[in-house]
Structure 1
Amino acid sequence: MTRPKRATIVDVARMAEVSAKTVSRVVNNEPHVTEAVKTRVHEAMRALRYHPNVAAQGLVRSRSYLIGLVYEKPSPSYVVELQKGALERLHGERFRLVVLPVESVTEREDEIIALLRSAALDAVLLAPPASDHAGLMAELREVGMPFARISPTRLLGQGASVAMDDVAAAQEAAEHLVKLGHKRIGVIKGDPSHAATDARLVGTMQALAKAGIMLHPELIESGQFTFDSGLAAARRLLALDPRPTAILAQNDDMAAAAITAARECGLHVPEDLSVVGFDDSDISRVVWPPLTTIRQPVEDMAYRAMDMLLGALKGEPEGGDVQLAHELLIRRSTAPPKAG
């Protein structure tokens, strides 16, 4: 079977009745080209299905036009939100996104630096926990690779970053349960390597202390921000006597797992057990009952961080620390505890 011939810049120039150099100027957004000529060139490109060779453009400008996104084992929903935000900002730009999942930023720092160098990236977005890793950021500065941080909790003031207040968000989630009348509240923590895990626990403890409620050690279980780890943690909490009347999980995957664990025990949510999640990911809306959760604007944070990174690549001043607002979304997974 004969493969169809790929259109070239010469073909576009011939159809648009301009020179190849003019086509190149249009593709590269260079000045001194009239709107009428730009329109003819773009119409020819669409008709011929011509796509500029980004790699070739990079060779000319000593750029790869590749931006990396580094993340470590988060929930699938979180990754999707990160990519959606980054890609939305890249729409219409010549830069492309390279997704770089890693096993452990703490244990494999040298490997990650080598990976970023070998990928010939122009810049990189750092998602948690990479966004809180001082050694990684120092290495990136040393090699001159621009970076922007998504949802950092520590080391603020080091490079461009977009985050929200995890302490305040967790505090509001816990206060919601307290206002409903819950006093025995279980907590499922996230991955201990993520700074947000400690920040969310601090917020929860502050809210309970303010209400005069003790968070006993047996009511705190550890997870990994995954469904399976949340299921195991929720089973341990529900095996306590007395069991908690509410569970506050540090992400939606673990909260959804808590609902599953409740059903295994013959409990109804929210009549017998209230459950609160964190993130407002897709699973929070499809699980039954829909989760009361904290909306963390992950997509917006990735969009803003990418915008800062593109600005840095264009020579604009380095962005500072931007904080976006969270929101408590009250759905059907929470209710007052049963009397007695």
Structure 2
Amino acid sequence: MRMLVRLVLGLFVLKAVSANPRFSRQLDLYDNGNYGVEEDNFEDTYDYDDGLTVDESETETETQNELDYNYPPEDLYEEEKVEEEEEAAEEHVEEEGEEHVEEEEEVVEHVEEEEEELPLKPQLVPQGSGGSGVLMGPETQKGMPVCLLCTCLGGSVYCDDMKLDGVPPLPKDTTHFYARYNKITKINKSDFANLSKLKRIDLTANEITSIDDGAFMGLPELEELIVRENHIRQLPALPETMTLIDASHNDVDSKGIHKEAFKDMTALLYLYLTDNNIDYIPVPLPDSLRSLHLQRNNIQMMHEDTFCNLNDFNYIRNALEDIRLDGNPINLSKTPQAYICLPRIPIGNLI
């Protein structure tokens, strides 16, 4: 019975082997001690992964690679991070600066456009006489500031040949005023009020017939007054600070000069009264006087003490070197004692 069972099993095995060649081959390998795998084709037959799946193998490989890679120290990362932050901050500042510059340029352009659109407005200058200070000097009667009507350079105001019929209101810091060749007919007391720095007034060739007596007395710095070529009949009172007075070519007569008008002008150097109607030399004259022009007047006589001091024969008037009396009906040879204290005798008729 036992033999029969073995035979049946043997037949069954043979049938199975004959039906499956691979199984027959594996049996041969088993028989050879290779456990069903050929030595030469062992690696080809199976992918030896040490019992790991494909994903696990890749993960292990990556982990091993990470372990093998030497990462930079954390301090380096921090330094790089700081550098990146500084660069970002600098870029931000530069961007803000550029935006700020662009904004300023836009503002400047906007202001320039507004200035172009607005009418011209002169700069503010100090208050002048005859009005409250406005841009470019006080307003004139012509409806514009004096420094637009005239020319203002520093403290000098030039209003020559502007067809003015009166003195315009001047800036308070005016030092020299020129209004020659105009049509001014009168000088009022208020024309030069509050001009404490005014030193020179030149009103040559106007149509002035009268000057208020106190028109120049409120000018503590006034030194030079030129009113030649007008129609003035009487000279006004003048401050003692005068160095030059020129009233030539007017209609001044003997009554038109105040008594002892020049006596206290201790700084007076030049007195020009040419071409008027004066019939006497306006004495006393200060010792500072250098030049006296009285030609073409109506002077007929001279006293011996006109220039000299008869009580002091040692007195010498050295400064007075220029006396012009030509064109007057006077004979200078009749009063020789009047010139003994002078460095030069007057120019005039000696016959």
- Shorter-chain TM-score bucket reads under 0.3
Query: Higher helix fraction: Structure 1 or Structure 2?
Result: 1
- Superposition TM-score, scaled by structure 2 size: 0.23
- Which structure is richer in relative contact order (CA contacts within 8 A, separation 6 or more)? 1
Q: Which has the larger radius of gyration?
A: 2
- Superposition TM-score, scaled by structure 1 size: 0.23
